[in-house]
Amino acid sequence: MKRVAQVIAVRPEKLDEYRELHRNVPPAVLDRIRRSHISNYSIHLLGDRLFGYFEYHGADLEADLAVMAEDEATQQWWRLTGPCQEPVAEAATGEWWATAEQVFLME
């Protein structure tokens, strides 16, 4: 299992919309996430920063994320959520959600 933590900014004027969108995530989007071997997925908000965490139980995260990106329901969802977000300064070139380094783990 691989733990993944990511950060992105939410546009302040889109905060209420972002919250509302996540009150009713389409079942097809949730199903695609599960079929991509992702579990325990959560998004938290602090100020204008969104912190996402999930656990990956597959063999090839990049391949599973690529399949997810090709999914029509996911693409529709991203067209709704994408305008609410903006990459943080720490994001690598071309990176939307910046992946955070794990520096501590207690199990």
In angstroms, how far is CA 74 from the centroid of its own chain? 11
* H or E stretch covering 29: helix 27-35
* pLDDT recorded at residue 84: 98
pTM value? 0.92
- In the chain the beta strands, taken as DSSP E runs, fall at 2-10, 38-46, 49-56, 85-86, 98-99
- In this structure, what DSSP letter does residue 87 have? -
* Domains of the chain from N-terminus onward: 12-90 (3.30.70)
The low-confidence residues of the chain, meaning pLDDT below 70, are none
* pLDDT recorded at residue 34: 98
* pLDDT recorded at residue 93: 92
Q: What confidence tens digit (pLDDT) does each residue in 37-60 have?
A: 999 999 999 999 999 999 999 999
* pLDDT recorded at residue 17: 97
Q: Angle 33-39-43 (CA atoms, 0-180°, nearest 5)?
A: 80
Question: Tokens for 62?
Answer: 């990049």
